[in-house]
Structure 1
Amino acid sequence: MTAEVTAASVGSESLIARYRGLICDLDGVVYRGPEAVAHAVETVNRLTAGGIRIVFATNNASRPPEHVSEHLRGLGVAPRGWSVVTSSQAAAAHLAGRLAPAARVCAVGGPGVARALTEAGLTAVRVAELGDTPVEAVVQGLGTDVTWTELAAVSYLAESGVTWVATNVDLTLPTPNGQAPGNGALVALVRTATCASPHVVGKPQPALFDLARSRLGTDPADTLVCGDRLDTDIEGANAAGLDSLFVLSGASRLRDLAFAQRRARPTYLAADLRGLLTPGLPLRITSPSYLVELGTDGVPRVASAADNGELLRSVVLTTWAARDAGRAVRDDASLWEGIERQLGLGQPDEVG
């Protein structure tokens, strides 16, 4: 799994040099709202300058890809070697493969939902335009202006047997002010009013990963996923048979990783995207020397100093090994926040 790296900006010993393509999340990894995550833009530019191909894959269905691209360029991401795919596009691709060309589909969410349907050769119909002409499916995606009337329309359509596709079911969305309700929260509202369940295409389902990998033109073994959410990015990468790098710059924190189920455990771990440019050791126990001490109180013993990443890795492996062996490990949130501080990790609201 060796990539042909043509620029000195990406060393042959780096983690990313083992792969030919990168599927990278956006919210909490590259940016948080209007601001870039620290070190993210510089890292992305080094990767693309070094010949690494990137597809930014986001569950956020509200914006068309070109708006996301404008955002990235505005943050300083060089306009080369990357593209954007959204869960709206995954939803449109799913339906385009099952419906006749120009089939009418109700679009609920931001402008990215309707745009994706139109570009896939379907007829996007907003709730206000439904009238008496039936639709063959309804796609529900995130939108900051989604109304009760639109949610009710999804309920009526889903209950009547119309195919209901949800772009994603993330319960929260990271914003500069903290976590806000995500599309999953709105989908849950509809589910409480119906007997129906949606077909979900966004992470952790494979459809978005498959779409992104088709853009890269890579095999699974040559593709790395990078994300900040264990329940979407990492669990989805595992389900799709892809290696993954989990970064601690966004929604999921060290405590979440330490107590993650096997299906949501990443291949690699780093504080932020710069981990792609370091050698990167897999998160597996190969020698007792990789472990830190787990105290009798169930707390990993961490030196009171920042580390180059090996200590962080050891804390996680120690916790996994203890939990897998049935030993008790304390899960107090404040305790794990303290461990993050000892390791020199900034909290998400400190990321600029």
Structure 2
Amino acid sequence: MTGETTTTSVRTEPVVARYRGLICDLDGVVYRGATAVPRAVETLNHMTAFGVPVVFATNNASRSPENVGDHLRELGVAEQNWSVVTSSQAAAAHLAERLARGAPVCAVGGPGVAEALTEAGLTPVPFQELGDTPVEAVVQGLGTDVTWSELAAVGHLVEAGAIWVATNIDLTLPTPYGQAPGNGALVALVQTATSASPHVVGKPHAALFDLARSRLGTEQPETIVCGDRLDTDIKGANSAGLDSLFVLSGACRLRDLAFAERSSRPTYVAADLSGLLAPALPLHTTSPDHLVELGPDAVPRVPSAGDDGTRLQSVVTTAWAARDNGRAVADHAELWESIERQLGLVRNKPRSSRADH
């Protein structure tokens, strides 16, 4: 490791100038529940006004794109150059490629599941009508009213040979009262009674990213993903061959990023979505200028000089370089919270969440 240094790399162009389209997560990136994340709306409006299209991609299968869009407009996102895709739409697109038009598909979950199937030219069949209508597939998404009987029916259909598609397998989702079981927990319940596993389309799998990129009309090197979760947004971007910006405005924190495995490491890091407009400084271009000393507590020392972006980059690349070289890095939460405070990254916890990951 070098001593404390400042970054000397010449950085002129902003991150977004390197790309022609953005795939953007929602909760924790654009908003936290009913409240916009600081600088997010302004950044999005700046980008879309200057011709950079945005597709908001969410694992939330229960809400329709129109419902999500209404929320974004309420927050002040200008009505131009953006759209919304959901994991329900990715599931419907997957089945539309494999089934005849109009094929009956059992829809389990919120209203977004049935709407996506209809939009894709398939016929959604609610659980209550299964006795009268044979189905060729079943899409399982999260819904607050999903019952034991519906989950049992999914198992019976799968055992009888129906194609099983899960919108996502997030084990938990945030609520105003803490974590609650996510769709992955319900999928796991069904799996205990079957010999099959579902085809999963939501993050971190590539299908949702591929659908979003088809909406953008961009190639892989022209597309960047922005998200706040390493295990879904960033790992998914990597699996889809896309660059990514990880923001510290949502679920995962600096400590999580410092200990991320290679498959979940982003291209860039920033405090929030406005990092897209900051000078580009890829994390993988590690050089001695980007590294600092590990302190006696085995965590990187925060540089006293440099802007917040370069200081944050130095901390992250130092932790990665140390771990990749077999050096111990302390993982005590309070030490990393101290670093966050030094970098001005501390924020209040959200009061509520819509769980749009």
Q: TM-score when scaled to structure 1? A: 0.92
Residues 131-150 of structure 1 mapped to structure 2, 5 A cutoff:
131-150=131-150
- Provide the residue aligned with 2:241 in structure 1: 241
How many Å apart are 1:194 and its aligned residue? Answer: 2.2
Q: Is the 8 A contact 2:171 2:183 kept in 1?
A: yes
Residues 20-35 of structure 1 mapped to structure 2, 5 A cutoff:
20-35=20-35
Q: Is the 8 A contact 1:37 1:351 kept in 2?
A: no
2:332 paired with 1:332: yes
Q: Which moved further from structure 2: 160-169 or 332-341?
A: 332-341
Secondary structure class of the residue paired with 1:309? helix
What value does the CA root-mean-square deviation take over the aligned residues? 1.9
- Provide the residue aligned with 1:52 in structure 2: 52
How many Å apart are 1:59 and its aligned residue? Answer: 0.8
Deviations 1:290-323 (A, max 9, x none): 1121124422222589952111111110110011
- Provide the residue aligned with 2:279 in structure 1: 279
Cα distance change, pair 306–36 in 1 and its aligned pair in 2 (3 A): farther
CA–CA separation in structure 2 for the residues paired with 1:189 and 1:304: 51
Q: Which moved further from structure 2: 130-139 or 222-231?
A: 130-139
Secondary structure class of the residue paired with 1:218? coil
- Provide the residue aligned with 1:7 in structure 2: none
2:293 paired with 1:293: yes
Q: Is the 8 A contact 2:248 2:270 kept in 1?
A: yes
Cα distance change, pair 48–122 in 1 and its aligned pair in 2 (3 A): same
Q: Which runs of 5+ in 2 are unaligned?
A: 1-11, 353-357
CA–CA separation in structure 2 for the residues paired with 1:310 and 1:304: 11
Q: Is the 8 A contact 1:62 1:113 kept in 2?
A: yes
- Provide the residue aligned with 2:76 in structure 1: 76
CA–CA separation in structure 1 for the residues paired with 2:347 and 2:34: 18
2:161 paired with 1:124: no
CA–CA separation in structure 1 for the residues paired with 2:90 and 2:165: 10
Higher relative contact order, structure no. (Cα contacts within 8 Å, ≥ 6 residues apart)? 2
Q: Is the 8 A contact 2:107 2:139 kept in 1?
A: yes
What letter corresponds to residue 261 of structure 2 in structure 1?
Answer: Q
Q: Which moved further from structure 2: 49-58 or 180-189?
A: 180-189
- Provide the residue aligned with 1:219 in structure 2: 219
- Provide the residue aligned with 1:17 in structure 2: 17
Q: Is the 8 A contact 1:249 1:348 kept in 2?
A: no
- Provide the residue aligned with 1:197 in structure 2: 197
Q: Is the 8 A contact 1:29 1:272 kept in 2?
A: yes
How many Å apart are 1:348 and its aligned residue? Answer: 5.9
- Provide the residue aligned with 1:9 in structure 2: none
Cα distance change, pair 191–305 in 1 and its aligned pair in 2 (3 A): farther
- Provide the residue aligned with 1:188 in structure 2: 188
CA–CA separation in structure 2 for the residues paired with 1:310 and 1:259: 19
Q: TM-score when scaled to structure 2? A: 0.91
- Provide the residue aligned with 1:4 in structure 2: none
Moved over 4 A (4+): 303-307
How many Å apart are 1:283 and its aligned residue? Answer: 0.2
Deviations 1:66-123 (A, max 9, x none): 1111110011111101000111000000000001111111101110000000111111
- Provide the residue aligned with 2:92 in structure 1: 92
